[in-house]
Amino acid sequence: MIDRDYMEKRSFMRMNMDAPAVIQMEDGTQKHCICKDLSAVGMLIEVDQSVAVGTQFQVHLPALTGQFAPLDAAVKVHRVDEMGGGKYQLGLEIEQIK
pTM above 0.85, yes or no: no
Q: Specify the pLDDT at position 65.
A: 73
The two counts, helices (H) then strands (E), for the chain are 1, 6
Domain ranges of the chain: 4-97
Residues 4-97, CATH architecture? Beta Barrel (2.40)
Confidence of residue 4 (pLDDT cuts 50, 70, 90): very low
pLDDT tens-digit readout, 34-91: 999 999 899 999 999 999 999 999 999 998 777 778 999 999 999 999 999 999 999 9
**Cα(93)–Cα(56) distance, integer angstroms:** 9
